[in-house]
A = this chain, B = another copy of it.
């Protein structure tokens, strides 16, 4: 399979498109896979989305996202629902963004029970995983732990490095709990290449976007089209290849300018940049 045959559109890259529009866009641009987001799937309907992607001949490279496990109830019900949805969609994995400090909402608002105890938050993630992994395994769904850039540690993910994700995943079979390698989040890590090698068959998803400098005022939107930022993708892709990963490569870009642009142009640019930048 050539690398372009492994390209996947993560739906958030063309955020204003509905599921139907994104699926049609993939077909129109000859993109063979899609990463879906739960909110959009819910709008279109779960069964209808499963039929839509199957009829279009697309692979579902991931479902985004479960997680936020660090709150008081570990968000178990919501995560079980996410697992059921991933199963219905035949998604290659369910991406887990594990959550930040207890009582801190994404964006930093403090709620009841806010705590600065990051070690305790990490322990909660392990605890929740022990409850969710068997549920996912029974439904044939692979969980994918996503380490996020350390700047999101407090409000989105106390999981910041691939090493940490692999330590968490280790007690489970690789087909049950994998990890996401996301270039934006991990490029800076001096350990990233050795940890990708260590990950091997644990790699459940390879997500790609560039890291912009300076970051925009909303740091969540600091991702760029491949080539616009500071990441050298070649060594990362080579390491992921060498680790044995043969799955889809998702382009996932949170960026206000890209969201404002014509999605068809975004897809055309994305394909062109992917072909020249990914290796």
Residue numbers in B under 8 Å from A126 (CB-CB): none
> Does any Cβ of B come within 8 Å of A231's Cβ?
yes
Report yes or no: B190 in contact with A230, Cβ–Cβ below 8 A: no
Residue numbers in B under 8 Å from A217 (CB-CB): 217
Q: CB-defined interface of A27-57 with B at 8 Å, one 1/0 digit per residue?
A: 0000000000000000000000000000000
Binds B, one of A4-12, A135-143, A147-155, A265-273: A147-155
Binds B, one of A16-24, A208-216, A240-248: A208-216
Residue numbers in B under 8 Å from A150 (CB-CB): 149-151, 188-189
> Does any Cβ of B come within 8 Å of A108's Cβ?
yes
Shortest beta-carbon distance, A252 to chain B, in Å?
19
- Copies of this chain held together in the complex: 2
In A217-253, which residues have CB < 8 Å from any B CB? 217, 219, 230-232, 235
> What residue of chain B has the Cβ atom nearest to residue A150's Cβ?
B188
> Does any Cβ of B come within 8 Å of A206's Cβ?
no
Q: Name the prevailing secondary structure of the A interface residues.
A: loop
In A168-224, which residues have CB < 8 Å from any B CB? 187-190, 211, 213-215, 217, 219
Binds B, one of A66-74, A85-93, A115-123: A115-123
CA distance A117 to B190 in the complex (A): 12
CA distance A211 to B230 in the complex (A): 24
* Pick from B104, B213, B215: contact of A213, CB under 8 Å: B104
Report yes or no: B151 in contact with A215, Cβ–Cβ below 8 A: yes
Pull 12 A–B residue pairs with CB atoms less than 8 Å apart, ordered by A.
A107-B214, A108-B214, A116-B232, A150-B189, A155-B213, A155-B214, A160-B188, A160-B189, A160-B190, A215-B219, A217-B217, A219-B219
